[in-house]
Amino acid sequence: MTDQPQTLAERAAEVLNTADGRQKTALSRRHAAAWFASRAGSGPDIETGTASPPMHPARPEKPELLHPRDVPKRKPGSEAGRIALLHAVAHIELNAVDLHWDIIARFSHVPMPMGFFDDWVKAADEESKHFNLMCDCLEALGSHYGALPAHAGMWRAAEDTAEDLMGRLAVVPMVLEARGLDVTPGMIEIFRKAQLTQAVEALEVIYAEEVGHVAYGSKWFNFLCGRNNLDPKEVFHALVRKYFHGALKPPFNEEKRADAGLPPDFYWPLADQARDLPGS
């Protein structure tokens, strides 16, 4: 028997099982290119298929993963602080690569339009680029990914929602990635003040592309609500309360959230300073 060509879900699992960050993201980008070539009819056909993804993605030996309260805090105005910030973003991006491939590998048995797979492959490809941009910035400052400890527990949301696609969409793109839209402009300002153009440009790419990831989340969340005849806002509140531990933190980037299809009545009622909305 000859080897069957790898399905998309198997390719996703292969990325999840690759530990080294640069290798993981290179493989991720190759699989994304192969998928889009298949979709355009210019490369071998790739089926969506199914796979058994690992419960935890493979991770490099470094960085050491610590509980968030044990990760040393550094002043953002210092060189060490800026390196720590870039390192934290690199860590988030690497997790995001795995999160986007995981939604494909873990839920490919759910019948979904092809556009669902296109969106998450594109998001995974962009996260791979983001990780490499952050690594390049760290290396330009004489550091590297793995040089500092990083937050443990970033995979918690994936574990909690391993059997709930709507829960996954609610918590990962629509809460966690939406939070990225809130905090990235402030980060860009820190690097602009320090005149670190490479980091400013990299973070601007990340900021622009993350709007799309949140939008994919809200698109497919709304699609599933429509398919199941559910009220999106109510289900969103219920799922975030079930799977997300803690309140959402204002200030919110209402403009970019709106661009991504997240209306204020989705997130304000979950905020730690819940605000009365007109008419609510």
| C-beta closer to Fe ion: residue 11 or 91 | 91
Q: Which stretch binds Fe ion (CB under 5 A): 129-137, 195-203, 257-265, 268-276?
A: 129-137
The answer to the question of residue 24 lying near Fe ion (CB under 5 A) is: no
Q: Which stretch binds Fe ion (CB under 5 A): 88-96, 148-156, 191-199, 263-271?
A: 88-96
* Residue 64, amino acid: E
Q: Which of 59, 82, 106, 130 binds Fe ion (CB under 5 A)?
A: 130
| C-beta closer to Fe ion: residue 32 or 96 | 96
Dihedral Cα 102, 28, 128, 172, nearest 10 deg: -10
The answer to the question of residue 127 lying near Fe ion (CB under 5 A) is: yes
Rg (CA), the chain: 19
| 88 touches 54 (CB < 8 A) | no
The length of the chain, given as a count of residues? 280
Give the phi and the psi of residue 248 in degrees, each rounded to 5: -80, 145
Which residues, 164 to 183, sit near Fe ion by CB under 5 A? 177
3-state secondary structure of 50: coil
The answer to the question of residue 29 lying near Fe ion (CB under 5 A) is: no
For residue 212, the minimal CB distance to Fe ion (Å) is 8
- Closest residue by Cα to residue 53 from 120, 101, 109: 101
| C-beta closer to Fe ion: residue 87 or 269 | 87
Would you give the distance in Å from CA 124 to the centre of its chain?
8
| C-beta closer to Fe ion: residue 46 or 123 | 123
| C-beta closer to Fe ion: residue 100 or 106 | 100
253: left (phi over 0), alpha (psi -120 to 50) or beta: beta
Which residues, 198 to 217, sit near Fe ion by CB under 5 A? 210, 213
Alpha-carbon span 153 to 239, nearest angstrom: 19
| C-beta closer to Fe ion: residue 127 or 182 | 127
Task: Note the residues at the interface with Fe ion (CB under 5 A).
Answer: 93, 96, 127, 130, 177, 210, 213
